[in-house]
């Protein structure tokens, strides 16, 4: 059986039993969207397919540096970090072409998600609860994510030795959509495109962007459940492929004040589960924008300030949100307008959609997708109307205070914690835990002295 044909537990069992691999890889998402996991011996893996697997819940109790949260209720020293129940998802099976077993067979990789109380804060489970809500409303959700990421001729050791300064970019200068760069560096491009095809996360478009060594990859559209997995896999294994080739890829929102930030845009559309037709397209209305799409747009716009922490989850995310750098500053929308937070893309029954442009490349794709979809569905349920459509350059216009986006992670965390809509859509357990982790991140930042502070105050003040 082909790995991409696995749909059931029985399929997964047959594939693993026929494999020569002694161990199988499983991966899961923490709250930051980092893929964690382990190798599991095949006999234990086969048992876990039906009975689940115990996994230490510390993965929801520490930060990006494995430092333990001191403000989380779900887990901590007060609970002694017990095991949580993990469920392997057979349909996520892939071959991993970057890694082979002793006999030369490509490694098998499965994604997993949490059951029990941990399911309340598991990012993948949050997305699937949101998709269940959409299904209950009669919609099938389709999504596609696109990422910008900078490439460097560095290694994990060299960037630390340099203290992340004076790093060598993969290519020099600004050269967006460069045919020259993609030809000269064609070997890596081909490896990336091939890996993504083989791992069922095909890239629809790949090109250079403005900045030294920056690429933009648009992952092909799929049902939203699969689109979330594909984005999650893409970020991890693009970095792995780069490092195997003596390079590094970064998805942080803004690595240098001299260059534009890195976005993680989300394209969303709904289709009617009964008729199969687009719920967003109505040729009789202006711009083909159906009443359903209008209310969906209104919901995303209305709750974007409250859900900002799910689109921009790090301290660094907010360094990207400055005028003139292709990043929106208010919860605005426009038709084919790349200066607004939300972009209406008119088209046909097949292509009519909404692009959520506010997200940064560092966002957890499961959470960002959940935020955009849940708020849009909420708009449909409430029959909301969007604010007037922006014409022209949104950066030069003034908007009402209620459309202003949070400008720091701390502010975003407070808006999320106080949001009644977030608690209804995502649950109290998730909101409390996630807000606490963002507050922790802000507190860790406040403990450090930045280069900017030293240069500004050391001598003069």
d(CA 168, CA 212): 9
What confidence score (pLDDT) does residue 322 get?
75
| pLDDT digits (tens), the chain, 461 positions | 899 999 999 999 999 999 999 999 999 999 999 999 999 999 999 999 999 999 999 999 999 999 999 999 999 999 999 999 999 999 999 999 999 998 899 999 999 999 999 999 999 999 999 999 999 999 999 999 999 999 999 999 999 999 999 999 999 999 999 999 999 999 999 999 999 999 999 999 999 999 999 999 999 999 999 999 999 999 999 999 999 999 999 999 999 989 989 999 999 999 999 999 999 999 999 999 999 999 999 999 999 999 999 999 999 999 988 776 667 889 999 999 999 999 999 999 999 999 999 999 999 999 999 999 999 999 999 999 999 999 999 988 999 999 999 999 999 999 999 999 999 999 999 999 999 999 999 999 999 999 999 999 999 99
pTM of the model: 0.97
Task: Tell me how far CA of residue 59 lies from CA of 31, 38, 63, 118, 304, in angstroms.
Answer: 8, 12, 8, 10, 28
Of 335, 171, 196, nearest to 259 by C-alpha is 171
Q: Which residues pair with 114 in a beta bridge?
A: 86
d(CA 356, CA 350): 18
What confidence score (pLDDT) does residue 260 get?
87
Contact (CB, 8 A) for 429 and 120: yes
What confidence score (pLDDT) does residue 399 get?
95
Write out the chain in H/E/C secondary structure.
Answer: CCHHHCCCHHHHHHHHHHCCCCEEEEEEECCCCCEEEEEEEHHHHHHHHHHCEEEEHHHHCECCCCCECCCCCCCCCCCCCCEEEEEECHHHCEEEEEEECCCCCEEEEEEEEECHHHHHCCHHHHHHHHHHHHHHCCEEEEEEEEEEEEEECCCHHHHHHCCCCCCCECCCCCCCCCHHHHHHCHHHHHHHHHHHHHCCCCEEEEEECCCCCEEEEEECCEEHHHHHHHHHHHHHHHHHHHHHCCCEEECCCCCCCCCCCCEEEEEEEEEECCCCCECCECCCCHHHECHHHHHHHHHHHHHCCCCHHHHCCCCHHHHCCCCCCCCCCECCEEECCCCCCEEEECCCCCCCEEEECCCECCCCHHHHHHHHHHHHHHHHHHCCCCCCCCCCCHHHCCCCHHHECCCCHHHHHHHHHCCHHHHHHHCHHHHHHHHHHHHHHHHHHHCCCCHHHHHHHCCCC
What confidence score (pLDDT) does residue 325 get?
66
Q: Which residues of 421-441 are buried (b: 16+ CB within 10 A; e: fewer)?
A: bbbebbbebbbbbbbbbbbbb
The residue written with tokens 């969007």 in the block is 386
- For domain 9-116, is the CATH number 3.30.70.20? no
The answer to whether the Cα torsion of 396, 321, 312, 309 is positive or negative is negative
Total residues found in the chain within this entry: 461
In the chain, where does the domain assigned CATH 3.30.590.10 lie?
A: 130-303+342-384
Give the other-Cβ count within 10 Å of 93's Cβ: 24
What confidence score (pLDDT) does residue 102 get?
87
What confidence score (pLDDT) does residue 327 get?
73
What confidence score (pLDDT) does residue 336 get?
97
In the chain, where does the domain assigned CATH 3.10.20.70 lie?
A: 9-116
Domain covering 130-303+342-384, topology:
Creatine Kinase; Chain A, domain 2 (3.30.590)
d(CA 242, CA 444): 29
Encode pLDDT of 317-369 as tens digits.
Answer: 999 887 766 678 899 999 999 999 999 999 999 999 999 999 999 999 999 99
What confidence score (pLDDT) does residue 326 get?
65
* ∠ Cα 104 105 110 (to 5°): 145
d(CA 382, CA 299): 8
């Amino acid at each position: 059986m082909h790995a991409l044909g696995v749909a059931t537990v029985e399929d997964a069992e047959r594939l693993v039993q026929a494999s020569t691999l002694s161990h199988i890889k499983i991966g899961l998402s923490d709250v930051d969207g980092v893929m964690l996991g382990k190798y599991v011996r095949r006999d234990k893996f086969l048992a876990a397919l039906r009975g689940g697997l115990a996994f230490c819940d510390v993965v929801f109790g520490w930060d990006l540096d494995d430092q333990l949260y001191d403000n989380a209720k779900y887990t901590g020293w007060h609970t002694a970090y017990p095991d949580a129940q993990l469920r392997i998802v057979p349909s996520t099976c892939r071959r991993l072409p970057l890694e082979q077993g002793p006999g030369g067979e490509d490694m098998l990789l499965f994604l997993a998600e949490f059951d029990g109380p941990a399911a309340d804060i598991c990012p993948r489970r949050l997305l699937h609860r949101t998709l269940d809500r959409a299904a209950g409303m009669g919609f099938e959700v389709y999504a596609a994510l696109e990422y910008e990421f900078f490439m460097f001729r560095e290694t994990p050791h060299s960037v630390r030795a340099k203290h992340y300064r004076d790093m060598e970019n993969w290519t020099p200068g600004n050269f967006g959509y460069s045919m020259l760069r993609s030809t000269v560096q064609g070997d890596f491009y081909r490896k990336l495109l091939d890996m993504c095809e083989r791992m069922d996360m095909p890239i629809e478009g790949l090109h250079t962007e403005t900045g030294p060594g920056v690429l933009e990859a648009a992952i092909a559209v799929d049902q939203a459940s699969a689109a979330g997995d594909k984005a999650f896999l893409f970020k991890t294994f693009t970095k792995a492929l780069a490092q195997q080739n003596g390079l590094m890829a970064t998805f942080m929102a803004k690595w240098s004040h001299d260059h534009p930030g890195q976005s993680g845009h989300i394209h969303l559309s709904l289709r009617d589960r009964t008729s199969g037709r687009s719920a967003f397209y109505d040729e009789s209305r202006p711009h083909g924008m159906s009443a359903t799409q209008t209310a969906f747009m209104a919901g995303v716009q209305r709750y974007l300030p409250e859900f900002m922490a799910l689109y921009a989850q790090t301290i660094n995310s907010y360094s990207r949100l400055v005028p003139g750098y292709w990043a929106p500053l208010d919860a605005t929308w426009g038709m084919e307008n790349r200066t607004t937070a939300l972009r209406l893309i008119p088209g046909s029954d097949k292509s009519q959609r909404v692009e959520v442009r506010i997200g940064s490349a560092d966002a957890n794709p499961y959470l960002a997708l959940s935020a955009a979809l849940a708020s849009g569905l909420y708009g449909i349920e409430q029959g909301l109307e969007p604010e007037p459509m922006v014409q022209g350059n949104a950066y030069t216009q003034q908007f009402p205070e209620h459309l202003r986006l949070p400008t720091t992670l701390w502010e975003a965390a407070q808006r999320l914690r106080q949001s009644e809509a977030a608690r209804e859509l995502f649950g109290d357990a998730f909101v409390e835990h996630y807000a606490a982790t963002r507050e922790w991140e802000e507190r860790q930042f406040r403990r450090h002295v930045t280069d900017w502070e030293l240069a500004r105050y050391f001598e003069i003040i």
